[in-house]
């Protein structure tokens, strides 16, 4: 996995198979709420000095306008900063935010292809592929969000997700090696409970089999969709969690970090 660069800052190296525990605030929080919550999240991370060893990589993805403040709040913390979306070019694209601007701010990873962007903003495979390319060119790590629309046979879901990945990288597997995959079954997002642990583990195992044909069985694949404390220890072969609502209480994020730190290497 060749590291890219953003200025003098190397992009994240995902090669050593750490666990990734992250959270996106989506559009749930206002400005002041976001700042106070970020302070709490940082406290949860700082209270766990074992995190600096890198076995568990925490990340947080607030709304765009919060990013400069987040850089200040997270300074010296092991929490990585992400963005929820990006454009794929610079220039006359009113309302968009370029990957290079995000990188300049100190953002390290960027969500691309979240189910809510695909559904509500009609982002299709072509747009997702453009954004993946642009993010990598700017030195950002794409957090590529994929997932089936409805509960299905795990083999069918794995094939569907595999296709979403392959089109996002235009079948360029060297590009795929630079991604982090957020496997988020659409039907489990915004629900009361996550997808069943056995189902998730089965889909991810089958997905790894498909990726193995391209030398990528070890690609980081994290699970998202109503994730909460108690889930991670039940999963097999999954590289971490992508939390949403259930980390609005920052203590829950800390609880998941403890679960991740407690898992065997
Ligand atoms: O970005 C996070 C995921 O979409 C999960 O959100 P959720 O846990 O609120 O369902």
Residues 207-250: tens digit of each pLDDT? 999 999 999 999 999 999 999 999 999 999 999 999 999 999 99
Question: Which atom of ligand 1 is found nearest the CA of 242?
Answer: 2
Question: Which residues, 6 or more positions from 223, have their beta carbon under 8 angstroms from its beta carbon?
Answer: 182, 183, 184, 194, 195, 200, 204, 231, 235, 238, 240, 241, 242
What separation in Å is there between the alpha carbon of 24 and the centre of ligand 1?
Answer: 7
Its ipTM equals: 0.98
**pLDDT (average), residues 66-80:** 97
258 pLDDT tier (thresholds 50, 70, 90): very high
pLDDT in tens, 55-65: 999 999 999 99
Distance 223 CA to ligand 1 centre (A): 10
Q: Which of 204, 189, 182 is nearest to 119 (CA)?
A: 189
Expressed in angstroms and rounded, the spacing between residue 184 Cα and the centre of ligand 1 is: 8
Give the Å distance between the CA of 88 and the centre of ligand 1: 24
Q: Which pLDDT score, from 0 to 100, does residue 265 have?
A: 76
Between 51-55, 71-75, 160-164, 166-170, the lowest mean confidence (pLDDT) is in: 51-55
Q: Cα separation of 75 and 94, whole Å? A: 30
Report which ligand 1 atom has the smallest distance to the Cα of 188: 10
Mean pLDDT over all residues of the chain?
94
Tokens of 153: 């046979």
- Which of 114, 116, 123, 259 is an active site residue? 114
- Measured from the Cβ of residue 237, the count of other Cβ atoms closer than 10 Å reads 14
Confidence of residue 4 (pLDDT cuts 50, 70, 90): very low
Question: In the chain, what percentage of residues exceed pLDDT 70?
Answer: 94
Mean pLDDT, residues 243-260 taken together: 98
pLDDT computed for residue 2 by the predictor: 30
- Ligand 1 atom with the smallest distance to the CA of 26 is 1
Taking a C-beta distance cutoff of 8 angstroms, is the pair 61, 29 a contact? no
Ligand 1 pocket (Cβ < 6 Å) reads 24, 184, 189-190, 224-227, 242-246
Rounded mean pLDDT, 165-192: 98
**Which of 22, 113, 115, 225 best tests ligand 1's pocket when mutated (most atoms within 8 Å of CB)?**
225
pLDDT tens for 11-54 read 444 445 899 999 999 999 999 999 999 999 999 999 999 998 88
Looking at ligand 1, which atom is closest to the CA of residue 227?
8
Confidence (pLDDT) at 221: 98
Structure tokens at 159: 């094939």
Is there a catalytic annotation at residue 184?
yes
Confidence label for 9 from pLDDT (cuts 50, 70 and 90) = very low
Q: How far apart are CA 156 and CA 165, in angstroms?
A: 14
Spatial distance between the Cα atoms of 248 and 226, rounded to a whole number of angstroms: 12
Whole-prediction pTM:
0.94
């Amino acid at each position: 996995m060749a590291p890219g660069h953003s200025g003098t800052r190397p992009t994240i190296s995902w090669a050593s198979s750490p666990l990734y525990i992250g959270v996106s605030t989506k559009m749930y929080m206002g400005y002041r709420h976001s700042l106070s919550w970020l302070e709490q999240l940082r406290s949860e991370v700082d209270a766990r000095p074992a995190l600096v060893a890198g076995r568990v990589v925490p990340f947080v993805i607030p709304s765009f306008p919060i990013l400069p403040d987040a850089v200040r709040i997270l300074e010296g913390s092991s929490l990585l900063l992400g963005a929820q979306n990006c454009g794929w070019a610079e220039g006359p694209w009113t309302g968009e935010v370029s990957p290079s601007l995000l990188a300049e701010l100190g953002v390290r990873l960027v969500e691309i292809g979240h189910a809510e962007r695909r559904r509500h903003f009609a982002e299709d495979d072509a747009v997702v592929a453009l954004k993946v390319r642009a993010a990598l060119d700017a030195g950002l790590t794409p957090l590529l969000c994929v997932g089936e629309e409805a509960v299905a046979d795990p083999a069918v879901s794995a094939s569907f997700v595999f296709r979403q990945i392959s089109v996002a990288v235009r079948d360029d597997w060297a590009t795929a090696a630079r991604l982090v995959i957020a496997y988020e079954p659409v039907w489990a997002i915004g629900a009361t409970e996550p997808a069943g642990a056995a189902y998730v583990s089965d889909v991810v195992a089958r997905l790894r089999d498909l990726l193995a044909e391209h030398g990528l069985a070890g690609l980081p694949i994290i699970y998202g969709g109503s994730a909460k404390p108690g889930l991670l220890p039940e999963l097999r072969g999954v590289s971490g969690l992508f939390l949403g609502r259930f980390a609005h209480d920052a203590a829950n994020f800390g609880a998941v970090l403890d679960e991740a730190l407690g898992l065997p290497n």
